[in-house]
Amino acid sequence: MSFKHVFFKVRSIFWNNLLVLLFMVLLYVFMNIIYDTTDNNALLDLIIALLIIIFLFIYIRVKKSFNLFNSNFGSFSFSKKYLIILFVILIGTLLQLISVLSYKISPHEYEVFMHYAFNNSTSGVVENKFFNVVDSLIFAPVFEETIFRFILMNFLKLRFNNINYCVFISGFYFGVFHVLSFINYENFGVLMTNYMFWIYLIIKIMFGCYFAFLYSKTNNIYINIFVHSYTNLIALFL
C-alpha cells in the first residue's frame, strides 16, 4: 500500500469523523438552548420529539413518494425477522437487569451520583408522574432513535464502510449525550471522582451500541422505537 493511498485514507477518516463531531456539537448546542428555555429534561424530550414529528409529517406530505421509514426489514426471512426481535428484546431485558444490579454495588456512591447528576428543576410538569412515563415510553424513544439511529447511523453508513465502527460511534455518542445532559461546572468535580458516574456512562454506551446493532440488522426505525420504549418500560418496573 503506497504512502499516498494511506494518506488519503487517513485524511478521509479524519474528515468524516470531524463532520460527525460537528453534527453532534450543533445538536448539543441546540439541545442546551431548549434546555435553558424549559429548565428540565422532560420538556426537552417533549419539545424535540414534537418538532421531529411535525417535521417528518410535513416532509412526508411534501415528498409524497419519499419513504422516510424503511419498512422492508432488510433481506431477512419471515422467521429470522422475529427471532432477531425476540433476541434483542431478551438482550434489552438483560441490560436493564445488569444496570439495576450495578447500581446496587455501592448504594452510598449511587445516592451521591443521583443527587449531583439529577438535581435539576423538579417544578411543574416534571413532577407529573404520568407525563414522565409518557416521556420515557414515547417522546424520548422517538427523539433518541431518530437522532442517534436514523440520522446518525445513516450518515455514518454513507461515510464509513465498517458497520461495526458505525455501531460503536452511534452508541458512544448516545452514552456521552446522556451524561452531557446533566453534567455542569458545579457537579463536574464530584461526578468525575464518583465511579457510579463511569458505570452509568459505560452502561449507556452499551445501550447505544445495542440499539445501533438492532438498526443495522433491521434498517427499520419503527422497530428501534418500539424496542427502546420496551427497555424503558422494563426500567420503570425494576
Output the pTM of the full model. 0.76
Of the candidates 21, 32, 39, 233, the one whose C-alpha atom is nearest the C-alpha of residue 140 is 233
Determine the Cα–Cα distance for residues 152 and 173; give it in Å rounded to an integer.
10
What number is the average pLDDT over the span 124-134? Answer: 62
Q: How far apart are CA 16 and CA 211, in angstroms?
A: 22
pLDDT in tens, 37-52: 655 555 666 666 666 6
For residue 209, pLDDT over 90 is answered with yes
DSSP label at residue 161: S
Are the C-beta atoms of residues 76 and 221 closer than 8 Å to each other? no
Give the cell for residue 43: 420538556
Identify the CA nearest to 169 among candidates 222, 215, 123, 135: 215
Rounded to an integer, the average pLDDT of 120-125 is: 44
Cβ(237)–Cβ(98) below 8 Å: no
pLDDT tens, position by position, 72-104: 445 555 566 677 777 878 888 888 888 888 878
Q: Is the pLDDT of residue 122 over 50?
A: no
pLDDT-derived band of residue 207, with 50, 70 and 90 as boundaries? very high
Give the C-alpha separation, 2 to 16, whole Å: 21
Cβ neighbours, 10 Å, residue 66: 8
Work out the average pLDDT over 138-160. 83
Residue type, 228: H
Q: Are the beta carbons of 211 and 227 closer than 8 angstroms? A: yes
Q: Which helix (H) or strand (E) holds 120?
A: none
Rounded Cα gap, residues 228 and 215, in angstroms:
11
pLDDT at 106 over 60: yes
Q: Which of 12-16, 30-34, 50-54, 174-178 has the highest mean pLDDT?
A: 174-178
Does pLDDT of 55 surpass 80?
A: no
CA 167 to chain CA centroid, nearest Å: 12
**Least reliable range by pLDDT among 28-32, 63-67, 128-132, 215-219:** 63-67
pLDDT for position 38: 55
- State how far the alpha carbon of 202 is from the alpha carbons of 137, 161, 171, 174, in Å: 22, 25, 10, 11
CA 186/CA 17 separation, integer angstroms: 30
- CB count in 10 Å sphere of residue 211: 27
Tell me: pLDDT of 208 over 90: yes
Specify burial of residue 165 (Cβ count, 10 A radius: 0-12, 13-18, 19+). middle
φ and ψ of 118, to 5 deg: -120, 50
